[in-house]
């Protein structure tokens, strides 16, 4: 038998244990091992019932996702097909009890549903998360789940992909019993109870499949929700079609339909992109010169300096994760304002049902306001979030390094300033690091961790680990102006503005990028963030602007008119009392006047050109960042864009998207823009090199790793 699966016996109960760490994925060898065990059991009259359990920390977390790439590239070696194994289990002559702890996800839940019974510890989770990978269940999940849980629950689980906890699974009849205490002992006892009884086959249970009248509204609502919440993604709609097939067709035909839809999704660019994102989110945690074993600095309490927009949000992030927080401001009115905003944000979370009042009260009690540095000597980490001014940041770092213990992590939330210069004000630069939270800090998942010249590996490793506890995706970046995300966002925003100057309407620019999949168009985003913020930064960095290089002209003028965006009720758009954006003919008129004065000729611009200009600008800057080593890998840039800038997950991030389009094509397009618009479009050398070699950014990363 495969060494990934063991078969033992306990007083008439056969126990099949899957041991394929870390998550017991159904890698080649596992299905074969289970099949062999079932075969032996069926020929052994001493066996009365069977328990199938996962060794280690979990049941089965699904199919081995690495295998999907092998299938689509034609490199998969044949093995036992999961659907056939599941039929074999269901046909086993002894009752099979699936014992679930950790997670039973995807193929793991499909395996569990092929058993005759399921027991689980209360902390276990079950789910069909395939849509998050751009696919649908491919081993009968869409056919067996409605037979156990009913059509509405099955549609929700297969189309949205969120797992549910065992107590809810019990209510939905996915699980038959919760086991408190030792799972194996409980499952064996359960197996003794059911031994000798006729074993119910899930595929033969049709009583929950409903009638067309009952199901019609369920499917139409689910489709509407999927189109809205998972815009442009094909898998959720395919999952709904497959569940619908379960209600209309016999089991075998439903499975065939599911297989067809599964294959369509698996071979799509969307699924390849989403699988890239799954592994990417895990890859970014790996820092080549900061190994996993790097000692961590214990962080149990923190202090935040500045209770403005970001400081307040960061305080909530730590409090939500259970950390006591000292929150320092300069004076009582500023502190009161900061705390009032925190309270208001929490109150709206309670109103929306995201948090309970009790949870919020507990979090608020963790946040201790202060006007001085008392207590800073006891904290393990300080996050500075004062105004974006180098002089002020240096003053604050000079102060905190004096009041904090040696070894306290000193982090800055700066979005543009040089971390090394900030660190020069602290006598322990090895403790200084950038933790660039995104706004609103308590909502956005991204955390750019900025490595200074002197930042120690312990501090880096601790911050990367800490991010996970805070529910953030951390990406390590180098210390350059704008770091990775904002540095790329500059050219992207620049092109959006140029396009308006050249004749595209504000709405057309935003619509083209929204249709491409961005969460919001760039001009609506600018209105949301506040046009004054970037106006202030532009003035601060005026000395870096190269003479003779074209710069956007409209936004400065809008700011001069006091149009700062949503906060002033007008920016690129005007806003009604519900902050709904309304196209503003006055802006269109002003733009026409200003660009005519600047001798810019307006013309018709297609949606395709809008997308190409904006996305190619992102990719070109991304290539420079990658070449200069400010991002460790192309995927790091992708994860930043997906989690901080609303880039569509199904395009995999800007660098993956460029790889999918083909770097030669992207390079040629950039060369056209270079010819038309001059120096700002100079192709990045790395992009030119890869295009000429016929390679991708992903291959560049692989080659780099190989030579490291
Ligand atoms: O890892 C978390 C998770 O959510 N995993 C993915 C679960 C999932 O999406 N399952 C569905 C898979 S698709 C499927 O099953 C389709 C299906 O029905 C097809 C059937 C027909 C197929 C026919 C063709 C073959 C989990 C919640 C489980 C654990 O989270 P943690 O935070 O504790 O741990 P991670 O995420 O850091 O994971 C540890 C290491 O395991 C790797 N991994 C996780 N799930 C995997 C997997 N590798 C392959 N396949 C999986 N399903 C993960 O990448 C990580 O690796 P390292 O190298 O970074 O440590
Ligand atoms: P803000 O103006 O809302 O808040 C800054 C706060 O710092 C003010 O309340 C001020 O009173 C306080 N402060 C000033 N000096 C202080 C001192 N010595 N001690 C204690 N408090 C002091 O600014 P913000 O938008 O929260 O930005 C803070 C930092 O975060 C900046 O470095 C900014 O670049 C960065 N950042 C901002 C955003 C954003 O979207 N707002 C996003 C990412 C990063």
Tell me whether residue 350 is in a domain. Answer: yes
Catalytic site includes residue 110: yes
Indicate whether 161 and 219 sit together in one domain: yes
pLDDT tens-digit series, residues 339-350: 999 999 999 999
pLDDT value, residue 707: 77
- DSSP state for residue 621 in the 8-state scheme: H
- Judge whether residue 708 has pLDDT over 80: no
Specify the CATH number for the domain of residue 226: 3.90.226.10
The answer for residues whose C-beta is within 8 angstroms of residue 27's C-beta and 6 or more apart is 4, 20, 64, 66, 67
Q: What mean pLDDT is predicted for residues 176-181?
A: 97
Residues 62 and 194 in one domain: yes
Residue 432 lies in a domain: yes
* Proximal ligand: closest to the CA of 26: 1
**Per-residue pLDDT averaged across 287-312, rounded?**
96
Average pLDDT score over residue span 385-389: 93
Q: Which ligand is nearest to the CA of 239?
A: 1
User: Once rounded to an integer, what is the mean pLDDT over residues 286-303?
Assistant: 96
Residues 580 and 679 in one domain: yes
Taking CA atoms, 627 is separated from 92, 170, 183, 277, 460, in Å, by 57, 52, 51, 21, 22
Q: What is the dihedral of CA 273, 656, 613, 573, to 10 degrees?
A: 50
CA of 320 to the centre of ligand 2 (A): 20
Residue 526 has pLDDT above 80, yes or no: yes
Beta strands in 257-328 (DSSP E): 302-305, 325-328
pLDDT of residue 106: 98
Model confidence at 705, pLDDT cuts 50, 70, 90, reads: confident
Nearest CA to ligand 1 atom 50: 64
Asked whether the predicted pLDDT for residue 2 surpasses 90, the reply is no
What is the structure's pLDDT at 367?
98
Q: Would residue 205 count as lying in a domain?
A: yes
- Domain holding 230, by residue range, is 5-267
Does some domain include residue 698? yes
Query: 507-516 pLDDT, tens per residue?
Result: 999 999 999 9
Percent of the chain past pLDDT 70, that is, above it, reads 100
Whose tokens are 């619509």? That residue is 511
Ligand nearest to the CA of 336: 2
Q: Which of 32, 36, 90, 110 is catalytic?
A: 110
pLDDT at res. 543:
83
Q: How far apart are the first and last CA of the chain?
A: 39
Q: What are the phi and psi torsion angles at 433 (to 5°)?
A: -150, 155
Overall average pLDDT of the 75-82 stretch: 78
120 strand-pairing partners: 100, 178
Distance 567 CA to ligand 2 centre (A): 17
| 307 Cβ inside 6 Å of ligand 2 | yes
Q: How confident is residue 703, by pLDDT bands cut at 50, 70 and 90? A: confident
For 637-677, write each residue's pLDDT tens digit. 999 999 999 999 999 999 999 999 999 999 999 999 999 99
| 490 and 580 housed in the same domain | yes
Distance from C-alpha of 384 to C-alpha of 386, rounded to nearest angstrom: 6
Give the domain-ending residue among 444, 477, 510.
477
CA distance 405 to 600: 58
Assign residue 490 the CATH number of its domain.
1.10.1040.50
308 lines ligand 2 (CB under 6 A): yes
Residues in a beta bridge with 475: 448
**What pLDDT score was predicted for residue 607?**
98
Residues 386 and 424 in one domain: yes
For residue 434, the cross-strand partners are 412, 450
Report yes or no on 355 lying in a domain: yes
Average pLDDT over the chain reads 96
For 105-120, what is the mean pLDDT? Answer: 98
Q: Into how many domains does the chain fold?
A: 3
Residue 359 CB partners (closer than 8 Å, separation 6+): none
- Which one-letter DSSP state was computed for residue 542? G
CATH number of the domain at 309, please. Answer: 3.40.50.720
91 shares a domain with 114:
yes
Residue from 36, 39, 67, 130 carrying the catalytic annotation: 130
Q: What is the pLDDT of residue 1?
A: 65
Same domain, 244 and 333: no
534 lines ligand 2 (CB under 6 A): no
What is the distance between the alpha carbons of residues 34 and 96, in angstroms, rounded to a whole number? Answer: 12
Q: Based on the fold, state whether residues 661 and 563 are members of the same structural domain.
A: yes
Rounded Cα distance, 634 and 627, in Å: 10
Pick from 450, 477, 504: which residue ends a domain? 477
Residue 290 falls inside a structural domain: no
Q: How many whole angstroms from 426 Cα to the centroid of ligand 2? A: 19
Same domain, 664 and 529: yes
Residue 279 domain-assigned (yes or no): no
Tell me the average pLDDT across 148-157.
Answer: 98
The yes-or-no verdict on residue 79 having pLDDT over 80 is no
Active site residue 130: yes
User: How far is it, in rounded angstroms, from Cα 459 to Cα 476?
Assistant: 12
Band of residue 385 on the pLDDT scale cut at 50, 70, 90: very high
Q: How far, in Å, from the CA of 60 to the mean position of ligand 1?
A: 9
Instruction: Give yes or no: residues 522 and 467 share one domain.
Output: no
For residues 22 and 44, state if they share a domain. yes
pLDDT, residue 75, reads 82
Q: What is the pLDDT of residues 582-601, one digit of tens each?
A: 999 999 999 999 999 999 99
Residue 63, ligand 1, Cβ within 6 A? yes
Q: Is the beta carbon of 338 within 6 A of some atom in ligand 1?
A: no
Q: Which of residues 245, 267, 289 is at a domain's end?
A: 267
Residues 35 and 154 grouped into a single domain: yes
Average pLDDT over residues 22-45: 96
Distances (CA, A) of 41 to 16, 35, 37, 47, 165: 10, 10, 6, 7, 31
Q: Domain for residue 292, yes or no?
A: no
């Amino acid at each position: 038998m495969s060494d990934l699966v063991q078969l033992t016996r306990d007083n008439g109960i056969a126990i099949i244990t899957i041991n394929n760490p870390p998550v017991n994925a159904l890698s080649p060898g596992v299905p074969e091992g289970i099949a062999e065990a079932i075969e032996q059991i069926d020929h052994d009259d001493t066996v009365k019932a069977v328990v199938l359990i996962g060794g280690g920390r979990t049941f089965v977390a699904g199919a081995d996702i690495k295998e999907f790439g092998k299938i689509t590239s034609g490199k998969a070696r044949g093995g036992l097909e999961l659907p056939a194994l599941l039929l074999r289990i269901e046909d086993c002559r002894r009752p099979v009890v699936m014992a679930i702890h950790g997670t039973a996800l995807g193929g793991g839940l499909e395996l569990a549903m092929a058993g005759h019974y399921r027991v689980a510890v209360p902390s276990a989770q079950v789910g069909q998360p395939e849509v998050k990978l751009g696919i649908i269940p491919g081993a009968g999940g869409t056919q067996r789940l409605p037979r156990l849980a009913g059509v509405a629950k099955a549609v929700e689980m297969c189309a949205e992909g969120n797992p549910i906890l065992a107590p809810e699974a019990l209510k939905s009849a996915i699980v038959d019993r919760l086991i408190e205490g030792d799972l194996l002992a409980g499952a064996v006892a359960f197996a003794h109870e059911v031994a000798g009884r006729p074993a119910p086959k899930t595929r033969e249970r049709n009583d929950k499949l409903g009638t067309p009248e009952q199901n019609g509204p369920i499917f139409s609502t689910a489709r509407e929700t999927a189109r809205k919440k998972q815009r442009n993604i094909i898998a959720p709609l395919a999952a709904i079609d497959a569940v619908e097939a379960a209600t209309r067709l016999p089991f075998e035909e439903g499975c065939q339909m599911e297989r067809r839809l599964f294959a369509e999704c698996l071979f799509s660019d969307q699924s390849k992109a989403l699988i890239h994102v799954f592994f990417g989110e895990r890859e970014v945690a790996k820092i080549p010169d900061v190994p996993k074993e790097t000692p961590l600095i214990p962080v149990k309490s923190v202090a935040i300096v500045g209770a403005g927009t970001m400081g307040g949000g960061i305080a909530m992030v730590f409090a939500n994760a259970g950390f006591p927080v000292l929150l320092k401001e300069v004076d009582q009115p500023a502190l009161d304002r900061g705390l009032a905003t925190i309270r208001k944000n929490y109150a709206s979370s309670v109103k929306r049902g995201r948090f309970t009042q009790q949870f919020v009260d507990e979090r608020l009690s963790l946040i201790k306001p202060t006007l001085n540095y008392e207590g800073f000597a006891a904290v393990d980490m300080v996050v500075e979030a004062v105004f974006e001014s180098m002089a002020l940041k240096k003053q604050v770092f000079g102060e905190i390094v004096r009041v904090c213990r040696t070894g306290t992590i000193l982090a800055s939330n700066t979005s543009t300033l040089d971390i090394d210069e900030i660190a020069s004000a602290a006598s322990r630069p090895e403790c200084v690091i950038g933790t660039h939270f995104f706004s609103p800090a308590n909502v956005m998942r991204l955390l750019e961790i900025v490595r200074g010249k002197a930042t120690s590996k312990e501090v880096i490793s601790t911050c990367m680990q800490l991010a996970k506890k805070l529910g953030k995706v951390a990406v390590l970046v180098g210390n350059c102006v704008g770091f990775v995300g904002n540095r790329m966002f500059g050219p992207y925003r620049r092109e959006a503005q140029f396009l308006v100057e050249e004749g595209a309407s504000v709405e057309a620019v935003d619509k083209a990028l929204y249709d491409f999949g961005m969460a919001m168009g760039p001009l609506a985003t600018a209105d949301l963030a506040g046009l004054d913020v970037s106006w202030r930064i532009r003035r601060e960095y005026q000395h870096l602007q190269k003479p003779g290089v074209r710069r956007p002209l409209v936004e400065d003028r809008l700011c001069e008119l006091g149009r700062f965006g949503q906060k002033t009720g007008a920016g690129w758009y005007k806003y009604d009392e519900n902050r709904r954006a309304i196209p503003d003919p006055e802006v269109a008129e002003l733009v026409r006047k200003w660009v005519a004065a600047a001798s810019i000729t307006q013309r018709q611009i297609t949606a395709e050109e809008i997308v190409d200009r904006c996305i190619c600008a992102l990719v070109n800057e991304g290539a420079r960042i990658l070449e200069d080593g400010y991002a460790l890998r192309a995927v790091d840039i992708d994860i930043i864009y997906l989690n901080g800038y609303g880039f569509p997950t199904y395009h995999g991030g800007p660098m993956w998207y460029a790889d999918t389009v083909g770097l030669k094509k992207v390079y040629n397009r950039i060369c056209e823009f270079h010819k038309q618009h001059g120096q700002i479009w100079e192709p990045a050398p790395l992009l030119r090199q890869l295009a000429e070699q016929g390679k991708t950014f992903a291959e560049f990363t692989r080659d780099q790793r190989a030579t490291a």
